[in-house]
Chains A and B, each alone.
Chain A
Amino acid sequence: MAVWFTRSGNVARHLKRNMGFLGKLNHSFLGFHQRNSSLVSPIDESYRNAVVVLNNAMALFSVRCSESTLAEAQRDSRYDEHENQILDFPGGQVTFTSEMRFISESPEKRTKCYQVLDDNGRPILGTSFQPLSKEFAVRMYSNMVTLQTMDTIFYEAQRQGRISFYVTSNGEEAINIASAAALTFDDVVLPQYREPGVLLWRGFTLQEFANQCFGNKGDNGKGRQMPIHYGSKKLNYFTVSSTIATQLPQAVGAAYSLKMDSKDACVITYFGDGGTSEGDFHAALNFAAVMGAPVIFICRNNGWAISTPTSEQFRSDGIVVRGQAYGVRSIRVDGNDALAVYTAVQTAREMAISEHRPILIEALTYRVGHHSTSDDSTKYRPVDEIEHWRMARDPVTRFRKWVEWNGWWSDEDESELRSSARKQILHAIQVAEKVEKPPLSDLFTDVYDHLPSNLLEQERLLRETIKRHPQDYPPEVPM
């Protein structure tokens, strides 16, 4: 065997001198011969046969040029412990393989999903999760119920024509509340638009929600935006912006700033399955990994982007598999399981802050409601599918079962909470409807830090015009 090897080496050296590129053989070809000689005809002493073998081999494998000469390669090249050759390329060392194999476009098995509670609200045997106190669990549950009730009533209000627009989070109450509960108030939130529960958890009052939807004087957004575009500097929740996925690179920038300040806080940003198709998603994850930004990316994979199902949105195994492509640690969780979401987000937060890295969490769930009040989803998906998820897979009911099982909740508590929440929300809407709209001056402020002269001028002209033609202007706009 050794004789054969040497002879092949001689042949190779001879070829290298005479045959240009064909003479540049790499080691693995010879290695291949050693290990898999059954695949080619046995080599005899003649040069011509060796050439035939070499030619056959060329047809089977791409020729790779090596820096070192063949003789040197035989003696000096590195091997790992399994006798696989290692070579340096920009980006680090890679092991060569002589087997040409494409990585499949889809894995054999989809990435597993972390779950704590089964559909009946019982902890799954052997599952680990973060324990909760009674107060905390009840607080989480109350918030989920309040969110659910708020969504129902505001949706109805829009249908009655009292507000112009609304977006529900039906089916995603667990993601909203449980993720918020796992964070501190110092953690900065950059939402998409289906996460009002995070604000609710942090103390945004029902009246404040109503004020924003009605765009009245009490709105801390000064009536500048459409309904559901909430924001609160005090609660570290960045104002909702309608553009999709733009908050992702912004979140990375904010996280980078937190890192530079060495704060014990991270950034959390939410987006849907559709948002991952945006270029900003790619830039954000790539950058976050390169910069080591402490940011948690939470994808609410609810199956639908308005009428586009995930099967038409991407062909990957959901979003979680993309994390590794960018060098981002990732996990898939059951988004309708409040305890799973809570545990995952809390762990992610620790990792993000202590290790200065981004984390990607894919929360699988279902968008029970329509995309918004401008959508009728029965037009593109079956009604019984929607009903199945609304009833049998409701995250609020599931968590309720767990809280009840612990002896922390009763039916009386339930009816009390629901009727109280309903009353409060209806009252908030009634009040908000009657509050004055923002004053005229709010049309011109905040364009810049200070009011520039041209806007002062425009405001003055507008006031003069209104005074001269009051019948042309709405009466309820305070001057």
Chain B
Amino acid sequence: MLGIIKQKARCGVFPSSTVGQTLQRVRLSLFALRNYSTAPKEMTVREALNSALDEEMSADPKVFLMGEEVGEYQGAYKISKGLLEKYGPDRVFDTPITEAGFTGIGVGAAYYGLRPVIEFMTFNFSMQAIDHIINSAAKSNYMSAGQISVPIVFRGPNGAAAGVGAQHSQCYAAWYGSCPGLKVLAPYSSGDARGLLKAAIRDPDPVVFLENELLYGESFPVSAEALDSSFCLPIGKAKIEQEGKDVTITAFSKMVGYSLQAADILAKEGISAEVINLRSIRPLDRSTINASVRKTNRLVTVEEGFPQHGVGAEICASVIEESFGYLDAPVERIAGADVPMPYAANLERMAVPQVEDIVRAAKRACYRSAPMAATA
């Protein structure tokens, strides 16, 4: 059944980005198509984020959006399109250029009881405000013994884009993921984007919401459930995008798409890969990851960011602590190159993981314990 559905998907019944959606969803959609009802609704990540913001702002008058270019310009990446018109300048606030300033102001507003959504044009610029994110937002509930809660969301594009160089391409998942007091989310699909952003805005703790610029324009099908305004995804739960039995591949954000493509290639060679979309960097869904590794006995972690002290390092440590006896091969870590991002297109391509890197790593993980023919 899976084979047939996948074949149909590749024949263009659905756009290629649906490859890798869960069996469940594809089966349901196909069924719908066969019954001549309307095709599943498609939504870009941009539309998903916009609709999530719109719905949360409409539901709770305390929610407001603040950042550079979010109002008149409709958002630097058009995520906040139409919101200024709908909610007015009191709730969609264009700020002067001072990340430290507007982050501090957002935290102050959250201290008082509003629910700000602070947009960074990219998370690279959040470094200018990182003291407020960590020392004013993350630690405040603890330092004040529960008297000051900070229901704030910091969102914006994270990680590499295309041809934007070293100061615009860093991934901050590991930096924020190491800080207690913060929750860190990284959506992949439009459904993820909607559900996780809504959950983040409703959460009473500070949340860092890492989007991806290149994913904004990508389209994914969304279920009717995901379109409902009360839809919410749980924070701290990873999603198994595709089940498998030979090797576990963990990834987040854009790398989920690459991992799913790698899984397809591996499937042709007889390796069944289980792809886990982390969704939540902090808290990390260690139980899902470990359960998967105990099933497949092999692990490949994939991320775009720098390798040292990265998300993959934490996953590897967690698996070794909890499932060491189940591993049949050393953990493989795929990460970005340990250099500031170069600009030249060919160098940039080599500094970021590609599908082939994931495929080779999975193969290494699978053949490592196989006897070498030459030594026989």
Contacts A283-B98, A446-B142 hold; do A252 and B148 have CB atoms under 8 A apart? no
Quote the shortest CB–CB distance from A83 to chain B (angstroms). Answer: 37
Q: Chain A 267-291 against B: per-residue CB contact (8 Å), 1 yes, 0 no?
A: 0000000000001101110110011
Quick check: B107 and A250 within 8 Å, CB to CB?
A: yes
Q: Chain B 129-142 against A: per-residue CB contact (8 Å), 1 yes, 0 no?
A: 00110011000111
Quick check: B145 and A246 within 8 Å, CB to CB?
A: no
How far, in angstroms, from A58 to B234 measured CA to CA in the complex?
71
Q: Chain A 156-193 against B: per-residue CB contact (8 Å), 1 yes, 0 no?
A: 00000000000000000000000000000000101000
Range class of the B interface residue count? 35 or more
Quote the shortest CB–CB distance from B138 to chain A (angstroms). Answer: 9
Stretch at the interface among A139-147, A230-238, A359-367, A411-419: A230-238
Stretch at the interface among A31-39, A255-263, A298-306, A310-318: A255-263
Contact partners of B93 in chain A: CB under 8 A: 291
Q: Which of B105, B110, B205 has the most CB of A within 10 A?
A: B105
Contacts A188-B112, A452-B236 hold; do A280 and B100 have CB atoms under 8 A apart? yes
Nearest chain-B residue to A245 (Cβ)?
B104
Contact partners of B147 in chain A: CB under 8 A: 220, 231-233, 239
Contact partners of A257 in chain B: CB under 8 A: 108-109, 112-114
Quick check: A239 and B141 within 8 Å, CB to CB?
A: no
Quote the shortest CB–CB distance from A332 to chain B (angstroms). Answer: 25
Tell me if B253 counts as interface (CB < 8 A to partner A): no
Q: Chain B 197-213 against A: per-residue CB contact (8 Å), 1 yes, 0 no?
A: 00000011100000000
Contacts A239-B140, A239-B147, A258-B112 hold; do A287 and B101 have CB atoms under 8 A apart? yes
Contacts A246-B131, A260-B114, A448-B205 hold; do A239 and B144 have CB atoms under 8 A apart? yes
Q: Chain B 277-305 against A: per-residue CB contact (8 Å), 1 yes, 0 no?
A: 00000010010000000000000000000
Partner of A454, one of B114, B141, B283: B283
Quote the shortest CB–CB distance from A20 to chain B (angstroms). Answer: 37
Quick check: B142 and A224 within 8 Å, CB to CB?
A: yes
Q: Chain A 445-459 against B: per-residue CB contact (8 Å), 1 yes, 0 no?
A: 111110011100000
How far, in angstroms, from A249 to B106 measured CA to CA in the complex?
8
Quick check: B105 and A253 within 8 Å, CB to CB?
A: yes
Tell me if A344 counts as interface (CB < 8 A to partner B): no
Contact partners of A188 in chain B: CB under 8 A: 112
Tell me if B143 counts as interface (CB < 8 A to partner A): yes
Contact partners of A243 in chain B: CB under 8 A: 131, 135-136
Tell me if B90 counts as interface (CB < 8 A to partner A): yes
Quick check: B105 and A250 within 8 Å, CB to CB?
A: yes
Quick check: A249 and B105 within 8 Å, CB to CB?
A: yes
Quick check: A225 and B143 within 8 Å, CB to CB?
A: yes
How far, in angstroms, from A416 to B109 measured CA to CA in the complex?
44
Nearest chain-B residue to A290 (Cβ)?
B96
Contacts A241-B135, A253-B109, A257-B114 hold; do A284 and B104 have CB atoms under 8 A apart? yes
Contacts A221-B143, A231-B147, A239-B140 hold; do A254 and B101 have CB atoms under 8 A apart? no
Quote the shortest CB–CB distance from A243 to chain B (angstroms). Answer: 5
Contact partners of B81 in chain A: CB under 8 A: none
Tell me if A229 counts as interface (CB < 8 A to partner B): yes
Quote the shortest CB–CB distance from A352 to chain B (angstroms). Answer: 15
Nearest chain-A residue to B287 (Cβ)?
A453
Quick check: A249 and B108 within 8 Å, CB to CB?
A: yes
Quote the shortest CB–CB distance from B190 to chain A (angstroms). Answer: 27
Tell me if A432 counts as interface (CB < 8 A to partner B): no
Quick check: B106 and A253 within 8 Å, CB to CB?
A: yes
Tell me if A248 counts as interface (CB < 8 A to partner B): yes
Quote the shortest CB–CB distance from B66 to chain A (angstroms). Answer: 9
Tell me if A122 counts as interface (CB < 8 A to partner B): no
Contacts A188-B112, A239-B144, A253-B107 hold; do A284 and B236 have CB atoms under 8 A apart? no
Quick check: A287 and B145 within 8 Å, CB to CB?
A: no
Count how many chain A residues have C-beta atoms less than 8 Å from C-beta atoms of the other chain.
48
Nearest chain-B residue to A259 (Cβ)?
B90
- Chain B residues 192 to 230 lying within 8 A of chain A, measured CB to CB, are 203-205
Q: Chain B 99-130 against A: per-residue CB contact (8 Å), 1 yes, 0 no?
A: 01111111111111110100000000000000
How far, in angstroms, from A233 to B183 measured CA to CA in the complex?
24
Quote the shortest CB–CB distance from A397 to chain B (angstroms). Answer: 36
Q: Which of B93, B111, B131, B183 has the most CB of A within 10 A?
A: B111
How far, in angstroms, from A448 to B207 measured CA to CA in the complex?
11
Q: Chain A 197-235 against B: per-residue CB contact (8 Å), 1 yes, 0 no?
A: 000000000000000000000011110110001011100
Quick check: B104 and A283 within 8 Å, CB to CB?
A: yes
How far, in angstroms, from A241 to B183 measured CA to CA in the complex?
21
Partner of A250, one of B95, B104, B283: B104
Nearest chain-A residue to B142 (Cβ)?
A446
Contact partners of A231 in chain B: CB under 8 A: 144, 147-148
Contact partners of A448 in chain B: CB under 8 A: 141, 181, 183, 205
Tell me if B15 counts as interface (CB < 8 A to partner A): no
Quote the shortest CB–CB distance from A204 to chain B (angstroms). Answer: 13
Nearest chain-B residue to A252 (Cβ)?
B105
Tell me if A251 counts as interface (CB < 8 A to partner B): yes
Quick check: B143 and A250 within 8 Å, CB to CB?
A: no
Tell me if B149 counts as interface (CB < 8 A to partner A): yes
Contact partners of B203 in chain A: CB under 8 A: 449
Quick check: A250 and B141 within 8 Å, CB to CB?
A: no
Tell me if B163 counts as interface (CB < 8 A to partner A): no
Nearest chain-B residue to A249 (Cβ)?
B104
How far, in angstroms, from A250 to B133 measured CA to CA in the complex?
12
Quick check: A238 and B96 within 8 Å, CB to CB?
A: no
Nearest chain-B residue to A455 (Cβ)?
B180
Tell me if B325 counts as interface (CB < 8 A to partner A): no
Quote the shortest CB–CB distance from A370 to chain B (angstroms). Answer: 25
Which 10 pairs show the lowest CB-CB distances between chains A and B? A283-B101, A253-B108, A249-B104, A250-B108, A253-B109, A253-B105, A222-B145, A239-B144, A233-B147, A257-B112
6 A–B contacts, CB within 8 A, in A order: A224-B142, A239-B144, A254-B108, A280-B101, A283-B105, A284-B104
Residues of A within 8 A of B (CB): 188, 190, 219-222, 224-225, 229, 231-233, 238-239, 241, 243, 246-258, 260, 279-280, 282-284, 286-287, 290-291, 442, 445-449, 452-454
Q: A238-B111, A254-B108, A290-B96 are in contact. List 5 more A-B contacts (CB 8 A).
A: A231-B148, A253-B105, A256-B108, A283-B96, A284-B101
